[in-house]
Structure 1
């Protein structure tokens, strides 16, 4: 059974770790379609989607484009210093509202009132792409990270805050799923073990997986 057919069966909200919340099927299909279209626009510039080169010379298998602030290992800047030097595209108000709605869903409306994301990392995974276990720790803020999945499903590994080893929880993220982590799990190691080709709803017109992560950098300006 394909994932988009299996999505007719309800999946339960879960908390794989303290202050880490998985909400299946949070985005309705039309919102998913709209976000896929928006990601295609964002991927074309002013800083195009690219594969990030790590300080050790290795190249990440995912392709990335940023909004608001440009991420590169291991810092943020307003210009894409590792990809031609252009100024990064602004962070759209629509994503700010979406991030607040996501945090409200995960932690409640009182928490969401103070949530103001200013950076988005949009990662594209083809069939072979993965993401090694890592922490999101370039931000000066400890506000939650919001993760939205579009397209093909993936096996997402959410670990502990001490190291890349066990304990961890493996979660299948499908298109439309929301995952939010903050508080005690804000610096948890996490990664994508694999993508599962052919699992996206054909209506999306997307081969592969898009992941939108919203963050509060805590940087001035």
Structure 2
């Protein structure tokens, strides 16, 4: 099996690039961020906060997350229910960052993610793929971009999803991204950082096609 690990901060283009790359290579794309958002949704609906370790530990046994593909699109199922359309809500994204810092949550999802990589050729993106989940990945990429560029991308993504422009503020989005970076980079468990053997790619001034072509060249060289 061949594995590609893509890490980086929020809005760096990880998911978009990983999806495009997996299609080009015929690999399975694993969006670990969506898996953590599913966890956040699960606990939100049960009224549980990230500080309630005891209740979290008890309920993790009742948590099942699976990924299926329909017409080439990844769908995330939480205990048998397709929750894909709920996972891009801002509230869920913020909660996912908090729950991802809970040790028992990370242990459960890391184990699941590793099993997926053992069975398939994968492109997996997240914040600790190259450092923790797949430390022996065949190719590791660390994607980044300026906070302003990442905020602009998020703004356009929300508009595309039907959000009212009048309710969106790029400055506020950027501030939230910077806050999320701080939390992800400084959390005690599996902080966001570049793996020692990862290639660094700043996508601020690159098109999607340019980034994918660059990584495909790396795959060809590594294989």
TM-score if structure 2 supplies the norm length? 0.28
More helix by share: 2
TM-score if structure 1 supplies the norm length? 0.28
More strand by share: 1
